[in-house]
């Protein structure tokens, strides 16, 4: 089955998943992580993309971003990926591709769903048993959103800003939110929607996005369509 064409409307948050080819390492040393974040800031500013959350892991990465210009998100990812591959190949005396192909993504409804995706991204190191607490992992945005660490890269989304009137209040409430139990069905929905290029949110949001983009962002119902025998 052909993959759906990706959509990234201006102003709509997007969860991005980018994996290394054949699950090989795409980050080997602390300098690799730092370099990637440096260029992420550079290209996010150049292409006018707000970055709300991230998680850099050994063989893949997650981003939660909102494009502010048409096509800005794709151009940011392409420029960032190429720049980092040149750096990584030079550092490791290798050549050839690093990424498995085009990135995977899903559109995210602001509100409850956006905070869920943000939490999903930042708690990845805990789910993978890399650390016991998210704050102990240096290469996510958790320390910024939940602990108030300053950052020139992270641009809080309006939904995050609604958590409180001050930075300290927002961090405290977001930390408490992250410490709540996780809905496993919602985690599965986030994973499936990202891998299939769909949208995560309620039906009204998905219908609105489909009208805006002209492409399907809802999963097809399983089984044969009604009346299929008559159509044969």
In-domain check, residue 18: yes
- pLDDT bracket for residue 4 (50, 70, 90): very low
218 in any annotated domain: no
pLDDT one-digit tens code per residue, 28-69: 999 999 999 999 999 999 999 999 999 999 999 999 999 999
What is residue 232's predicted lDDT score, i.e. its pLDDT?
47
**Number of domains composing the chain:** 1
Name the residue range of residue 148's domain: 14-209
Q: What are phi and psi of 39, to 5 degrees?
A: -75, -30
Task: Find the helix or strand (DSSP H, E) in which 51 lies.
Answer: strand 49-56
Structural domain contains residue 88: yes
Instruction: Give residue-wise pLDDT tens across range 108-151.
Output: 999 899 999 999 999 999 999 999 999 999 999 999 999 999 99
Res. 3: pLDDT tops 80: no
Residue 229 domain-assigned?
no
Residue 5 pLDDT greater than 70, yes or no: no
Please report, for the domain that includes residue 33, its CATH number.
Answer: 3.30.70.1290
177 in any annotated domain: yes
Strand order in the sheet with 49-56: 49-56, 60-67, 14-19, 104-108, 199-200
pTM over the 0.85 mark: yes
pLDDT tens-digit series, residues 146-172: 999 999 999 999 999 999 999 999 999
165 in a structural domain: yes
How far apart CA 192 and CA 144 sit, in angstroms, is 27
Asked if the structure places residue 133 within a domain, the reply is yes
Match 């929607």 to its residue by tokens: 193
Please classify residue 115 by burial: count the beta carbons closer than 10 Å to its beta carbon, then call 0-12 exposed, 13-18 middle and 19+ buried.
buried
Task: Note whether residue 9 is domain-resident.
Answer: no
Per-residue confidence (pLDDT) for residue 224, from 0 to 100: 54
């Amino acid at each position: 089955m052909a993959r759906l064409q990706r959509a990234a409307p201006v102003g709509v948050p997007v969860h991005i998943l980018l994996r290394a080819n054949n699950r090989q390492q795409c980050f080997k040393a602390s300098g690799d992580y730092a370099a990637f974040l440096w260029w992420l800031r550079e290209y996010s500013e150049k292409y006018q993309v707000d970055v709300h959350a991230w998680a850099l892991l050994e063989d893949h990465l997650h981003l939660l971003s909102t494009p502010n210009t048409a096509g800005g998100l794709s151009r940011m990812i392409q420029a960032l990926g190429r720049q980092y591959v040149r750096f990584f190949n030079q550092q490791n005396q290798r050549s050839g591709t690093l990424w498995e192909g085009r990135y995977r993504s899903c559109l995210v409804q602001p509100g409850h769903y956006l905070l869920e995706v943000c939490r999903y991204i930042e708690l990845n190191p805990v789910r993978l048993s890399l650390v016991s607490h998210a704050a102990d992992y240096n290469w996510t945005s958790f320390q910024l959103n939940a602990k108030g660490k300053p950052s020139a890269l992270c641009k809080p989304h309006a939904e995050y800003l609604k958590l409180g009137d001050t930075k300290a209040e927002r961090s405290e409430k977001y930390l408490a939110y992250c410490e709540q139990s996780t809905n496993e069905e919602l985690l599965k929905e986030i994973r499936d929607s990202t891998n299939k290029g769909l949208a995560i949110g309620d039906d009204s949001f998905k219908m609105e996005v489909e009208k805006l983009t002209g492409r399907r962002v809802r999963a097809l119902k399983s089984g044969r369509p009604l009346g299929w025998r008559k159509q044969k």
